[in-house]
A = this chain, B = another copy of it.
Amino acid sequence: MARVLIVEDEEALGLLLRYNLESEGYEVEVCPRGDDADTRLRESVPDLLILDWMLPGLSGIELCRRLRTRPETERLPIIMLTARGEESERIRGLSTGADDYVVKPFSTAELMARVRAMLRRARPELVSTLLKAGDLELDRETKRCRRSGREVHLGPTEFRLLEFLMQSPGRVFSREQLLDGVWGMDVYVDERTVDVHVGRLRKAINRARERDPIRTVRGSGYAFDDRFATGA
């Protein structure tokens, strides 16, 4: 699968991103310094680069500029991370050669979506757009959901929630994890709200006598039923 290099000096953020990307199946490396990243990139070129704006050793913007002058990395997809504030920076970032630009703080879900979108353009053979399980289908590209053929309308949050759960069938997520992964890492929302959205999601995708793909794990959280696909 696709290889991603993260250049980020904030250790916690680097780990978080690594964790999320790996759980989506990417092969990830993290590098905390700009100059070291430069060296590493001369040895091997990943499929995508996530680059912090401010870095020790060599700034993200400078590294980006350098990469664009070398033929091996001229077209390397780059996502730039930067602190909130300067909208003007966006122009600078893009004109420096970054392909996309994400403002901190961001939800991991959003970054994952951008990573996927970017890879779809550059390396379409490496990413799948369709999530399937049993008679349930989720198309990330068209943002459509189908249950045994019929079109099901989901609100944005419900869509992201189902997408998130389906990405790791069987795995149980606490409400807190769901809030982090689906809503964003820094939102202040009541944990009960997760229940409400799970309820809405269920109402939307389940008809009369259909099996519920979402499993409630009392005391822990929710999971996408891994036995759902087989109908066991």
Q: Interface on A for B, CB 8 Å cutoff?
A: 10, 12-13, 15-16, 19, 45, 71-72, 74-76, 91, 94-95, 104-105, 121-124, 141-143, 155-156, 170-172, 185-186, 188, 217-220, 223, 226
Contact = CB atoms under 8 A, between A and B. Distances in A.
Contact of A156 (B19, B91, B95, B220): B220
A22 to B, nearest CB: 9
Contact of A19 (B91, B124, B218): B124
A13 B185 contact: no
A142 B186 contact: no
B223 A142 contact: yes
Nearest to A174: B117
A188 B91 contact: yes
24 contacts: A10-B75, A12-B72, A12-B74, A12-B75, A12-B76, A12-B122, A13-B75, A16-B121, A74-B104, A74-B105, A91-B186, A94-B185, A141-B171, A141-B172, A142-B170, A142-B171, A142-B172, A142-B223, A142-B226, A143-B172, A143-B220, A155-B218, A155-B219, A156-B219
Nearest to A177: B117
A218 B75 CA distance: 32
Contact of A141 (B121, B170, B218): B170
Contacts of A19: 121-122, 124
B186 A122 contact: no
A53 to B, nearest CB: 12
A20 B91 CA distance: 25
Contacts of A94: 185-186
A72 B156 contact: no
A212 to B, nearest CB: 16
A155 B124 CA distance: 33
Contacts of A156: 218-220
Contacts of A142: 170-172, 223, 226
Given A10-B71, A142-B226, 13 more contacts: A10-B74, A12-B72, A12-B74, A12-B75, A12-B76, A12-B122, A16-B121, A91-B186, A95-B186, A141-B170, A156-B218, A156-B219, A156-B220
